[in-house]
Amino acid sequence: MTTLSTDTPSDTSLSPAQLREKKDRRRAITLLTPGLLWMALFMVLPMIMVVYVSFWTQTTFTVESTLTTASWERFLSSSTYLGAIWTTLRIWAIVLIATIVVGYPVALFIGLFVRNKTLQTALLVACVIPFWTSFLIRVIAWRPMLGTEGAINAILMQLGIINEPLTFLLFSEFSVLVGMTQIYVVFMVGPITFMLGRIDPSVIEAARDLGASFGTIFRRIILPLSLPGVMVGAIFVSVMVLGEFATAASLSGRKVNLLGNIIVSQVGSLKWAFAAVAGVVLTIIITAVIALALRLVDLRKEM
Amino acid sequence: MLTLNRVSRRYGETIALDGVDFVVPENTYMSLLGASGSGKTTLLRLIAGFEEPDQGEISINGARIDGQPSHLRDIGFVFQNFALFPHLTVFENVAFGLRHRVNAPVKNEKEIKERTDNALELVGLEGFGHRAVSAISGGQRQRVALARTLVTEPRIVLLDEPLGALDANLRSRMCDELKAIRERLKVSFLHVTGSETEALMMGDKVAVLADGKIVQTGAPDTLFAEPLNAASARHMNAWNIFDASLCAGPVGQGAIAVRFDQIDISATGQAPETRPHLKAKYLTGEFNGPTALSFFRAEDGTLLQIIDHLSQPRLPDLVEGESYDLHFAPDAVRQFHGAA
Amino acid sequence: MESRILRPTLAIYSGIFLLFLYGPMIVLAILSFQSADGGPQFPIREWSTYWYQHLLGLAETSRVSQLPVGDSLIRSIILAFMTTVVSTILGVMSAEAFRTKFKGSGPAFYLIILGMMVPGVLVGLGMALLSNTLGISRAWFGTSFVLHVVYTYPFAFLVLLAIFNRFDRTVEEASMSLGVSPAQTFRRVTFPIIFPGVLSAMLFSFTLSYDEFSRTLFTAGRELTLPLAIYGTFSVEIYPNLFAFGVLTTLFSFTLLVIYGLLMKRFTSKASRFKGQEEG
């Protein structure tokens, strides 16, 4: 009997099944290596660099690699910067809640109340389409909407509801919150709709036949099943809002300073070490938020 | 000739195949009968090289093929779901292997056309070449799958429940066609199925796979009439298997089997003295057209079935819940060694 | 029945929600037709296409300087194209790898997904620091490009992962049983079948990169991309030419979307999957 074997001697102890498994694994790792390498070099390494530079010595226009905690001390003793942390967390919390409150009923309508698949898809597409507009243009679009001579004030004055234009609408924390909610709410609507769409309508009908009120059905069936969607949406919204600076820069009239704005302005004045400190603080906050969320939901399973 | 020698395959703790010895001779229609979960699909996948065995050898004409990549094995495979290429037409599906295979690809368009058309003709699909595979029926897809495999002239063709996705009418028609096609091509087919009628009807030889082992191989009539063990008798779906101690009369010991059509029924105590008999309660009957099936429960709980052919009725009128004596000729008994 | 009240309420609410989503863009579009002497607010003094002409450099000299969109537009398109190619290739390779079970797939998954989670301003800062330290000059086609891929590759990966989850492996096995090598099988069978997914991944990558600016801000160097050019106008007074630009760039995106839709339609109609079995 002739044997066709190309195995190297060291492999002879392995069965064909193990060899195949080894080969498949090696192939998978080979395919994955370029991507992981890319991420390691261009994402992980820069992030390490941020942490490292946060301990460098800042002079007026340059940084030196002499290690010091001076930037950290300055950051943590400055009420302006600690205030930025507080502002970031406050804006994040409000926007997160706002996206859930504003988005959930819409998701409920599209995911559960619209039975027609075509209409359902059309509505979802309608929610997503604004994304094909430049993000910065969408932000700037709030200015003619909210300004003292903007659309809202114009309409309210026409209707005689107000006599003086409302000035708090633009260049305030309010305009930042409205802008962010509008931009990010879709990331909440999408995942929740997806989860609600998975609910078998017959389950709800059966519950209704058994005499359950909508309140009961919502509490017992709809809410629990949609929670993973809320969590996934919350992760999306959180990471985006926490890293924000453009909306605040263009709509707050410098009244709202997020950590992102601190980083941008520090880099603008070449205070690299200081920007790095703000970066590390931001990283810690985001990591904490994501870690918390991932404890509550397995992202890999939900996608 | 395809030879499997002590082939084993495990998935974690589950043993799918446990030392299978198996031979598929040249120019043979071999049926492989096994219940779902018996490892029959695994066996085909090992032969085709989609998976590899943990132990044992697989060879064709004496040359080992285990460890070889599947595209170098020259073994055809017809899938239960057909696995047609959805983005190609019927013609391109069939021509695919000729065009793109590693060994001796055909470059000449004329030859490709000729061979593809021949294959389509062989399976009765002349003129269907331009169709999309989504635009043809299930039976036609089955034929495309077959033509696609046959056109490459593999050394052996493996068919994984090829009729499973077809409806009953189509199934029996495809059975005849498969057999005829194979006889024309003189290549061996290894046809895996869970249906004993299909296995017995199709196979020149039939092998029974149970609990990860081949329990018997033989001609269909031999296998049906003389199963060697309880496992293969059970797969024929024609044998009552029960413990000899239930019977009065000369039946030996241990597990014995008597065919559904070889048992007669008398009122309690009326069984002829010369015939082995046992007492059982009549449960219910099932009318199947030309045959009628009666179900009995023996005293130890074993379910027994009796077939009566309507053209030659031999059973008395039965009352549900009543006990009867079931009796049979001493030479109708098959005695198995070991546990039932 | 509550749903008799609930359903219309939710429908009306959803209508208002869409108005909330689209309102600002509609106002912006209306204001882009403001007359030459009008400002970026109501009322419209006179309907005109002046600001479009201004944007395209066709208007006579005016008090408002022209938006620097010409070169930056070309840069952005090239950058988006490069990003699309690389992230789609990486996405296909990684998603293909994840079809095999292997140890460490969990951490590898999260490492990739991290790319879309990490705020742009952070990796941007890190990349700027890194290039300063290593003495590499920052440029949109270098430092910005690699960061864009970090951002879009996870999206491409997820799209293809979803496609592969629904992929019927037996067609690949069928191809190999016909004697076709794994490489050819990928090219002739796998790739054509996953192509709609590849197209979606490309669309995602292109639009995300084209619009990306927080990752570009610190890493682009002297030559600006389109979003950076727009961001530059934020700090000064805005004029309706920005609105006209907004309308045009939106139209450009929709054109892309339509092309994608047409390609998709062509491919899905060609490769429509098996639909139940009928008698033949």
pLDDT for C74-96, tens place per residue?
Answer: 999 999 999 999 999 999 999 99
CB atoms within 10 A of CB C184: 18
Q: What are phi and psi for residue A235, nearest 5 degrees?
A: -65, -50
Mean pLDDT of C108-132: 93
| Burial category of B332 from C-beta neighbours within 10 Å (exposed 0-12, middle 13-18, buried 19 and up) | middle
Q: Give the H or E element holding residue B78.
A: strand B75-78
Mean pLDDT of A8-33: 82
Mean pLDDT of C115-130: 93
Q: How many CA atoms lie within 13 A of C227 on its CB side?
A: 27
A3 CB neighbours in chain B (<8 A) are 64
Q: Report the pLDDT value the prediction gives residue A61, as an integer from 0 to 100.
A: 77
Please report, to the nearest 10 degrees, the dihedral formed by the alpha carbons of residues C18, C19, C24, C27 taken in order: 130
The CATH number corresponding to C70-238 among 1.10.3720.10, 2.60.40.3950, 1.20.1260.10, 1.10.10.10 equals 1.10.3720.10
B50 and C275 within 8 Å at the Cβ level: the answer is no
Q: Are C243 and C32 in contact (CB under 8 A)?
A: yes
B67 and A16 within 8 Å at the Cβ level: the answer is yes
Q: Are B153 and B188 in contact (CB under 8 A)?
A: no
Q: Report the pLDDT value the prediction gives residue C61, as an integer from 0 to 100.
A: 65
CA distance B289 to B308: 11
Q: Is C174 helix (H, G, I), strand (E, B) or coil?
A: helix
A17 and B51 within 8 Å at the Cβ level: the answer is yes
- Write out pLDDT tens, residues B207-218: 999 988 999 999
Interchain contact C176–B (C-beta under 8 A): yes
Compare all CA atoms of chain B with the CA of A24 and give the residue at the minimum distance. B51
- Write out pLDDT tens, residues B139-193: 899 999 999 999 999 999 999 998 887 777 888 888 888 899 999 999 999 999 9
Q: Report the pLDDT value the prediction gives residue B338, as an integer from 0 to 100.
A: 54
Of C224, C221, C208, C223, nearest in space to C127 by CA? C221
DSSP state of C66: P
Give the CA distances from residue B85 to residues A145, B93, C103, in Å, rounded to whole numbers and listed in that order.
Answer: 54, 6, 32
Mean pLDDT of C12-37: 89
Shortest distance between the Cα of B3 and any Cα of chain A, in A, equals 12
CA distance C259 to C251: 12
Q: Report the pLDDT value the prediction gives residue C274, as an integer from 0 to 100.
A: 39
Shortest distance between the Cα of B66 and any Cα of chain C, in A, equals 14
pLDDT tier, C1 (very low <50, low <70, confident <90, very high otherwise): very low
- Give the closest of B102, B133, B138 to C277, CB-based: B138
Bridge partners of residue B20, in order along the sequence: B7
Q: How many CA atoms lie within 13 A of B58 on its CB side?
A: 27
Q: Report the pLDDT value the prediction gives residue A299, as an integer from 0 to 100.
A: 61
Hey, of A25, A45, A55, A109, which one would you mutate to test binding to chain C, going by the most C CBs within 10 A of its CB? A109
Q: Report the pLDDT value the prediction gives residue A3, as an integer from 0 to 100.
A: 45
pLDDT tier, A303 (very low <50, low <70, confident <90, very high otherwise): low
Q: Is B282 helix (H, G, I), strand (E, B) or coil?
A: strand
CA distance C87 to C107: 20
C174 and B77 within 8 Å at the Cβ level: the answer is yes
Q: Report the pLDDT value the prediction gives residue C3, as an integer from 0 to 100.
A: 65
- Write out pLDDT tens, residues A27-82: 999 999 999 999 999 999 999 999 999 999 988 778 888 899 999 999 999 898 99
Q: Is B4 helix (H, G, I), strand (E, B) or coil?
A: strand
Structural domain boundaries of chain A? 15-42, 71-302
Fold (CATH) for A71-302? MetI-like fold (1.10.3720)
pLDDT tier, B128 (very low <50, low <70, confident <90, very high otherwise): very high
Say if residue C43 is preceded by a cis peptide, omega within 30 of 0.
Answer: yes
Residues 6+ apart with CB under 8 A from B253: B244, B245
Q: Report the pLDDT value the prediction gives residue C48, as an integer from 0 to 100.
A: 84
A16 CB neighbours in chain B (<8 A) are 52-54, 66-67
A138 CB neighbours in chain C (<8 A) are 24-25
A16 and B52 within 8 Å at the Cβ level: the answer is yes
> What's the maximum distance between 2 C-alpha atoms anywhere in chain B?
80
- Give the closest of B63, B67, B68 to A2, CB-based: B63
Q: Is B11 helix (H, G, I), strand (E, B) or coil?
A: strand
Compare all CA atoms of chain C with the CA of A273 and give the residue at the minimum distance. C129
Q: Report the pLDDT value the prediction gives residue A72, as an integer from 0 to 100.
A: 93
Of B40, B3, B35, B38, nearest in space to B22 by CA? B3
C179 and B152 within 8 Å at the Cβ level: the answer is yes
ipTM: 0.88
- Give the closest of B53, B55, B68 to A4, CB-based: B68
CB atoms within 10 A of CB A238: 24
A263 and C125 within 8 Å at the Cβ level: the answer is yes
Region(s) of chain C under CATH 1.10.3720.10 = 70-238
Inter-chain contacts counted by CB atoms under 8 A, chains A and B: 36
Residue A209 has pLDDT above 90, yes or no: no
CA distance B99 to B104: 9
Least-confidence region, from A104-118, A289-303, C245-259: A289-303
DSSP string of chain A?
A: --------GGGTTS-HHHHHHHHHHHHHHHHHHHHHHHHIIIIIHHHHHHHHHTTSEE-SS-EES---SHHHHHHHH-HHHHHHHHHHHHHHHHHHHHHHHHHHHHHHIIIII---HHHHHHHHHHHHGGGGS-HHHHHHTHHHHHSTTSHHHHHHHHTTS-SSPPSSSSSSHHHHHHHHHHHHHHHHHHHHHHHHHTS-HHHHHHHHHTT--HHHHIIIIIHHHHHHHHHHHHHHHHHHHHT--HHHHHHSTT----HHHHHHHHHHTT-HHHHHHHHHHHHHHHHHHHHHHHHH--HHHH-
Mean pLDDT of A188-198: 90
Q: Are A132 and C250 in contact (CB under 8 A)?
A: yes
Of C131, C128, C211, C116, nearest in space to A264 by CA? C128
Q: Where are the alpha helices (DSSP H) in chain B?
A: 40-48, 90-100, 109-122, 138-150, 168-185, 196-202, 220-225, 230-236
B138 CB neighbours in chain C (<8 A) are 277-280
C175 CB neighbours in chain B (<8 A) are 85, 96, 100
CA distance C228 to C208: 14
CA B46 from chain centre, in angstroms, equals 18
Q: Is B21 helix (H, G, I), strand (E, B) or coil?
A: strand
CA distance A8 to B31: 37
Interchain contact C3–B (C-beta under 8 A): no
CB atoms within 10 A of CB C115: 23
List domains and CATH numbers for chain B.
2-234 (3.40.50.300), 239-335 (2.40.50.140)
Please give the structure tokens belonging to residue C272: 């429509």
Interchain contact B15–C (C-beta under 8 A): no
B83 and C270 within 8 Å at the Cβ level: the answer is no
Q: Give the H or E element holding residue B60.
A: strand B55-60
pLDDT tier, B277 (very low <50, low <70, confident <90, very high otherwise): confident
| Burial category of C222 from C-beta neighbours within 10 Å (exposed 0-12, middle 13-18, buried 19 and up) | exposed
C274 and B71 within 8 Å at the Cβ level: the answer is no
B62 and A16 within 8 Å at the Cβ level: the answer is no
Residue C275 has pLDDT above 70, yes or no: no
- Give the closest of A1, A2, A5 to B67, CB-based: A5
Of B98, B124, B123, nearest in space to B109 by CA? B98
Interchain contact B322–A (C-beta under 8 A): no
Rounded to a whole number, what is the distance in angstroms from the first to the last CA of chain B? 33
Token pair 């449960």 is at which residue?
Answer: B283
DSSP state of B120: H
